[in-house]
């Protein structure tokens, strides 16, 4: 879809009851920013998140900042959460609860130091 930042323009479609897991290597234990670049042309909602198998309270908010009637190619945004990670391998899963009726497109994620203020290009 136009507007996706992935190298080849591809993206994942997450619908109610689906999830995707990423594995990251953190150089040291501590807080990081986990960035999600997404497309949401529907209602605002919170997707479920687990970090290393543990539910994260509040999940991650995926808002539709563009409102109704906007070209979907213009509805790409980013958001982040601040998980505490262990040194070495970590997993983060983002899912949409079954029965929610929500869906989003996801084209990129990033893990950055807390000092990073905007989604990395």
Q: Alpha carbon of 21 to those of 63, 87, 95: distances in Å? A: 21, 18, 9
Specify the pLDDT at position 5.
86
In a domain, 66, yes or no: yes
In a domain, 2, yes or no: no
When the pLDDT of each residue in the chain is averaged and rounded to a whole number, the result is 92
**Structure-block tokens of residue 64:** 């539709």
pLDDT in tens, 31-45: 999 999 999 988 899
Q: Which parts of the chain sit beneath pLDDT 50?
A: none
Domain total of the chain:
1
CA-wise closest residue to 54 among 87, 79, 84, 12: 84
Which residue range(s) make up the domain with 30? Answer: 12-112
pLDDT in tens, 54-71: 999 999 999 988 877 778
Within 13 Å and on the Cβ side, how many CA atoms surround 20? 14
**Dihedrals phi, psi of 73, to nearest 5 degrees:** -65, -15
Q: What is the CATH number of the domain that holds 39?
A: 2.60.120.260
Cα separation of 102 and 22, whole Å?
21
């Amino acid at each position: 879809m136009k507007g996706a930042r992935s190298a080849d323009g591809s993206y994942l479609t997450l619908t109610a009851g689906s999830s995707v897991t990423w594995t990251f290597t953190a150089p040291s234990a501590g807080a990081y920013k986990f960035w999600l670049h997404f497309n949401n042309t529907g209602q605002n909602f919170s997707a479920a998140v687990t970090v290393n198998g543990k539910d994260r309270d509040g999940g991650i908010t995926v808002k539709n900042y563009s409102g109704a009637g906007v070209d979907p190619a213009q509805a790409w945004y980013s958001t982040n959460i601040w998980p505490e990670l262990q040194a070495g391998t970590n997993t983060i899963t983002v899912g949409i609860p079954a029965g929610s009726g929500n869906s989003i497109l996801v084209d990129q994620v990033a893990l950055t130091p807390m000092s990073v203020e905007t989604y990395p290009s």
